[in-house]
Amino acid sequence: MSVASVALVVAVLCAGAALRSAGGRTEDVRRRARTLLGGHGEADPTGGWRAWLRVEGVRKWCAGRLVEGDAGRRWSIGRWGDIGQEVWCLPVGLALGVLGGSVVPVAASVVAVFLVRRWLVTRGAGRVRERRAASVIGLCAAVAGELRAGRQPSQALLAAGATGLGAGGSAVLAAARYGGDVPRALRGAARQPGAEGLTGMAACWQVAVEGGAGLASGLERIAAGLRAQRDQRDELRAQLAGPRVTALMLALLPAAGLLMGSALGADPLRVLLHTPAGWGCLVIGGLLEWGGVAWTARIVAAAEGA
């Protein structure tokens, strides 16, 4: 491989590292802002550098903003959209294209960006769903504790709060504060993924208000049941960790084979990317790889659903 090819590979990897470092942690962004503004405003967050950063002109001058969404932290630059971990597919594809002298890895890396992005969004949504389910358990337990302390149901709900439930939680608190229909607000909040346990809380609330039943004991039972379901899911997930690792190792075997072939001097990339037989093997192997991963994922998902 020529010196120019090596320089191109190094430049591509450096560009990928720069894009990835742009999606750093929030603390890094704050530290850079404090350095830029001389450290002012930390004692007065409302009138210091944090408020200064919210000015539209400063955001445009920085040409970027940190986006915190359900899928995790990402860095949005201009009109490029959200840049996340999937951007690493592009430098890897470009590096393989330079090494193999073909545009096939580059095209495959573009497709891989969308696939990896979809997987990351799905994983982020699952994490948000788990956090919301934990918030429901905490809400039921907190309201029960406030009721045991002698508070009225609405006061207990306001004292417990509804952190982690988003707009649905705000609607529940508003209904409790202004004398609205709390069970209806709870059922509305229960439509969010992971907050299904609020349906049982709404039923207990309605029965307690209309029939005078004990609300604290009902909420404690709901919290205990949701906690038992969560523990069961965690145990099942731990048992499925072994099959997941095995499937990942099997999926990485073709890459290991390419590395071994290159080490032995067989030049497998040239065969795969520049010969008709290699194209056929690449297509068939890719289809088999995709089928195996999809099949394994379907089995794991069915086991978790059961």
Q: Does 46 have pLDDT greater than 60?
A: no
pLDDT value for 211: 67
pLDDT value for 199: 92
Residues 80-83: contacts with CB within 8 Å, 24+ apart? 83/19, 83/22, 83/23
**pLDDT confidence bin for 18, thresholds 50/70/90:** very low
- Report how far residue 150's alpha carbon sits from residue 201's, in angstroms, rounded to the nearest whole number: 19
Q: Which of 138, 126, 202 is nearest to 165 (CA)?
A: 138
Dump pLDDT digits (tens) for 234-266: 898 888 888 888 888 888 888 888 888 888 888
Residue 220's Cβ-side half-sphere holds a number of Cα atoms within 13 Å equal to 9
pLDDT value for 137: 93
pLDDT value for 231: 92
Q: Does 192 have pLDDT greater than 80?
A: yes
Q: Which of 106, 102, 91 is nearest to 19 (CA)?
A: 91
Instruction: DSSP letter for 265, please.
Output: T
Which tokens in the block code for residue 156? 């207990």
Q: Compute the average pLDDT of residues 196-206.
A: 91
- Report how far residue 118's alpha carbon sits from residue 297's, in angstroms, rounded to the nearest whole number: 15
pLDDT value for 73: 41
Highest mean pLDDT among 65-69, 163-167, 189-193, 210-214: 189-193
Q: Does 28 have pLDDT greater than 60?
A: no
Task: For Cα atoms 227, 229, 232, give the angle at the middle one, nearest 5 degrees.
Answer: 110
Highest mean pLDDT among 71-75, 80-84, 191-195: 191-195
Q: What are the distances in angstroms from CA 230 to CA 72, 125, 133, 163, 242?
A: 22, 17, 9, 19, 20
User: What's the CA dihedral at 208, 212, 214, 219 to 10 degrees?
Assistant: 0
**pLDDT confidence bin for 213, thresholds 50/70/90:** low
Percent of the chain predicted with pLDDT > 90:
20
Dump pLDDT digits (tens) for 95-152: 888 877 888 888 888 888 888 898 889 889 989 999 999 999 999 999 999 998 888 8
pLDDT value for 187: 92
163: left (phi over 0), alpha (psi -120 to 50) or beta: beta
Q: What are phi and psi of 225, to 5 degrees?
A: -65, -45
User: Cβ(60)–Cβ(120) under 8 Å?
Assistant: no
Among 21-25, 194-198, 238-242, the range scoring the smallest mean pLDDT is: 21-25
Q: In the chain, what are the domain boundaries?
A: 127-227, 240-306
Sign of the C-alpha dihedral computed for residues 229, 233, 238 and 240 taken in this order: positive
Q: Compute the average pLDDT of residues 14-21.
A: 48
Percent of the chain predicted with pLDDT > 70:
71
Among 14-23, 176-185, 266-275, the range scoring the smallest mean pLDDT is: 14-23
For the chain, the average pLDDT equals 75
Q: What is the pTM assigned to this prediction? A: 0.65
pLDDT value for 85: 79
Q: Does 29 have pLDDT greater than 70?
A: no
Among 38-47, 129-138, 188-197, 282-291, the range scoring the smallest mean pLDDT is: 38-47
